[in-house]
Structure 1
Amino acid sequence: MMTLPMTLPKALVALALAGAAFGAQAHKPWILPSSTVVEAKEAWVTVDAAVSEGLFDIDHVPLRLDGLTITGPDGASVTPENVSNGKLRNTFDVKMARSGTYRIALVNQNVMASYKAGGETKRFRGTEETFRKEVPANAEELRVTRTTSRLETFVTANEPDTAVLKPTGTGLELVPVTHPNELRAGEKATWRFLLDGQPAANLPFSLIPGGVRYRGTLNETRQSTDAKGEITFTIPAAGMYLVSAAWPVQARGEGAGPGGPGAQGGQGQARPAGQPPQQPARRVTYAATVEVLPE
């Protein structure tokens, strides 16, 4: 795992990724490879990383690269090269020395808490380690939410393989039954979502194509998985897409309940009128950039 000095505060990254199942107006974190399939003896890709209002537009702030991991087809870690920290985006290059598929991922775990000390409400955002150091274990009215976020993409040098597609068993993950670098417009594709290694049943997810600024409409597609955490669907047009999902599922106007994928219910719990929604004890998000090739 790489820890690189970047410019965007960790708290903003955590909040951005926690909203990965974003709506039309939210700022979106994303990583975008220059290509997802490279056929060359010496294969390289350049990756942009940013948080933007328009999907894949460079219009807001760079995305911090703490938690960046690049995994090669042999399971070995790959070091990013030519890392550049810009005002609106960060970039890095990936040398794909071996043929096969690589996973480029930003994985973060954060803690958000509120509590009272000396009659005043205090708030905390940070890592599990700093939480244990800075927040008293016996703090009054302590409320804690732990977030796990995964933001990733897949790139292939020459011939695709499936070694890096194996799930880690932690958090929300996409297990592409159809290889993510073999998606084609007009052809059926099958995806499987897992939560901590188990099928994420009835999980809603969002699929948004790039180029929103030129269309004038979001063109968002919303789908949900079946009881096995799977869905088979057809993407009509080629291009770069962002897929995103979050757990627990929160019903509109209600607090997030304990239910979720694999649980009974999972549409949130009603709360008394006038009370703010309660944050779940755990929040898990997923987002990935995928390319759909022409027919």
Structure 2
Amino acid sequence: MLSRTAFPLVVSALLIGSAAADTAYVRPSTFTPEKDQTLTVEVSFSDLCCEPSYSVRTDTFAMIGPDGEAASPDRVEVFSNTTILEHTFTAEGTTRISTGERLGRKGEYVELDGKYHLINSPDAEPIEIPDGTPILSSQTATVTDAYVTVGPADWGAIRTQVGRLAIEPLPHPNSARIGELFAGRVTLDGAPVAEQTVLLTNEAQRLRNADGVPFQTDSDGRFDITFSEPGVHLIMVRLQAPAPQGAETDIRSYTTALTLSVPAD
């Protein structure tokens, strides 16, 4: 496709799966609105949960209703460090607030021993690359979601596929509680992703200047989390994969995130 060849022995590179930088989050003003209530939703990229750094600019925002049908938000306002959505929730059940799959910046990678490394970027770190290693073009693909529920919870919006890389909650996402097991599954094109790092961050960690907590998926792509404190949490997964047919680049860097609210009681 668009690959070239690397000639220098040492270039700047970054191993995928390191710190979760520039992860988008979706934060509604409440996760349990009343019927016909209008919510504001903050959507932003950030290194931390959930402190806005810069806005998410896309035309792929979607409100996926309990019937699985997608509609555009009623209003979208873009500011320098955040994007604000406004939407009135008229249907009972669970609605998915999603960025949709947003294609972003492009970069260059090399593949060594089955792992992708970013090169020729300020975010990269030095790594030795053998002569003749193909340089692969890449583009980011971001999906981040939150779920809000009016009345009884249901699953129509949750089971709707958005993008290739997915975090599939196994209990209902609005059922997360302190001390209770919350499980999910990571899939790519519907197939489980084994031995994949899943990163959990929350607002309390940000205030303590603490790192996120990593988890690993098992052979079925499943991960298990037990929340130890209340507040807004972000579950994030990031991986590289060959780009789909017809894409402008050789590979894509996929980041998918899920914003959850864990109540204090």
The TM-score by the shorter chain falls in which range?
0.7 to 0.9
TM-score (ref. length: structure 2):
0.72
Conserved in 1, the CA contact under 8 Å of 2:173 and 2:260? yes
1:1-295 equivalences under 5 Å are: 23=19, 26-38=21-33, 40-58=34-52, 60-106=53-99, 107-109=101-103, 112=106, 143-168=136-161, 170-218=163-211, 220-248=212-240, 281-295=251-265
1:98 deviates by 0.6
Question: Which has a greater percent of helix?
Answer: 1
- Pair 84,211 (structure 1): closer, same or farther in 2 beyond 3 Å: farther
TM-superposed CA distance for 1:168, in Å, is 2.0
Q: Kindly indicate whether the alpha-carbon contact (under 8 Å) linking 1:21 and 1:205 is maintained by their aligned counterparts in 2.
A: no
**Structure 2 Cα separation of the partners of residues 46 and 75 of structure 1:** 21
Cα separation, partners in 2 of 1:113 and 1:213, compared to 1, 3 Å: closer
| Deviation string, structure 1 residues 61-114 (Cα, Å, up to 9, x no partner) | 222133211111122323312422223222111211111111111112358367
AA aligned opposite 1:289: T
Give 2:166's aligned amino acid.
E
Structure 2: unaligned runs, 5 residues or longer: 1-14, 109-119, 121-133, 243-248
Q: Which has the higher contact order (CA 8 A, sep 6+)?
A: 2
CA RMSD in angstroms, aligned pairs only: 2.9
Asked if the contact 1:21/1:285 (under 8 Å) is kept, the reply is no
Q: Distance in 1 between matches of 2:90 and 2:219?
A: 40
Report if aligned partners of 1:21, 1:206 keep a CA contact under 8 Å in 2.
Answer: no
Distance of aligned partners of 1:53 and 1:165 in 2 relative to their CA distance in 1, 3 Å threshold: closer
Query: Normalised by the size of structure 1, how large is the TM-score?
Result: 0.66
**Shift in CA distance, 44/21, structure 1 to aligned 2, threshold 3 Å:** farther
Unaligned runs of 5+ in 1: 1-18, 115-122, 124-140, 250-257, 259-278
Query: SS of the counterpart of 1:181?
Result: helix
Secondary structure of the 2:69 match is coil
Structure 1 residues 217 and 113, CA gap change in structure 2 (3 angstroms): closer
Q: 1:74 to 1:284 in 2, by over 3 A?
A: same
CA distance in 2, matches of 1:113, 1:54: 23
Mapped partners of 1:148, 1:155: distance in 2? 24
| Equivalent position amino acid for 1:41 in 2 | K
Amino acid at match of 1:23: A
* Shift in Å, 1:22: 6.4
Query: 2:106, 2:208 → 1: CA distance?
Result: 37
Letter in 2 for 1:33: P
Higher fraction of strand: 2
Paired positions, count: 220
Identity of aligned residues (%): 24
The code of the aligned residue for 1:30 comes to: Y
From the superposition, tell whether residues 53 and 198 of structure 1 become closer, same or farther in structure 2 (CA, over 3 Å).
closer
Shift of 1:211: 3.9
